Structure 1
């Protein structure tokens, strides 16, 4: 069986085109693998849960009888140490959890607007 003369260059061209399209798709086209899509989805879900918990954190801070003292101590700290101090207040702890969440502490600090008041 003989193949036409254009078969070999046609196969090479198709293979080269497939490789080029794959490279362009993954670098500029926005294509992702399943594992990176899963990672992005988990990160987005964690961010949304944190945003949903900010009102709970602000409510816990409003109901705390020692609110004024804790806010005064937070204002005295630099922005670097505020997140750890916020975690120590207990306001950045998810209901049902034993330990505070760093991301929630940062979001709650932004909600308290310590620098603006």
Structure 2
């Protein structure tokens, strides 16, 4: 070994090797970023936003639906009738009863009647008039 160069200190990579190393490192960074790093494309972000908005709207309408159902006359009878229905008939019962209709929203909100029915079926008994169900705007 001349000039005191030994092992790695004497190694001089070519420009081609440097170029391919940069390309490989960039590709590896992108693969790791999109799989484990949490990166996302703008298209995927838009889809995720649309899903979140739809779910939030359904949850809001379902909460209003539960309130409308519980405060309606004959709520106890309606709850028993709802609980007697099969799971695939419950959303129709809610929609036909009009409890999921919200002023200013035309048509039905996707998944709102299902979510409302699920929340109502889980109730062992209706809330008393002193609780959240009895709150009205003044």
Q: Sort the TM-score into its range (normalised by shorter chain).
A: 0.7 to 0.9
After superposition, the Cα gap between the structure-2 partners of 1:28 and 1:111, relative to the gap in structure 1 and judged at 3 Å, is same
Q: Deviations over 1:28-62 (max 9, x none)?
A: 21110001111111211222222233332122213
- Does 1 or 2 have the higher relative contact order (CA < 8 Å, sep 6+)? 2
Deviation for aligned residue 1:15: 0.3
Equivalence for 1:85: 93
**2:78 matches 1:55:** no
Normalising by the residue count of structure 2, what TM-score does the alignment of the two structures yield? 0.69
Query: CA separation in 2, counterparts of 1:74 and 1:22?
Result: 52
Runs of at least 5 residues in structure 1 that lack an aligned partner in the other structure: none
Counterpart selection for 1:23 from 31, 47, 55: 31
Runs of at least 5 residues in structure 2 that lack an aligned partner in the other structure: 1-11, 125-138
Aligned residues: 113
Query: CA separation in 1, counterparts of 2:71 and 2:123?
Result: 21
CA contact (8 A) 1:50 1:107 kept: yes
Equivalence for 1:94: 102
CA contact (8 A) 1:92 1:102 kept: no
Which consecutive segments of 4 or more residues in structure 1 shift more than 6 A?
A: none
Equivalence for 1:7: 15
From the CA coordinates, give the structure whose radius of gyration is larger.
Answer: 2
Q: RMSD in angstroms over aligned alpha carbons? A: 2.2
Deviation for aligned residue 1:84: 2.2
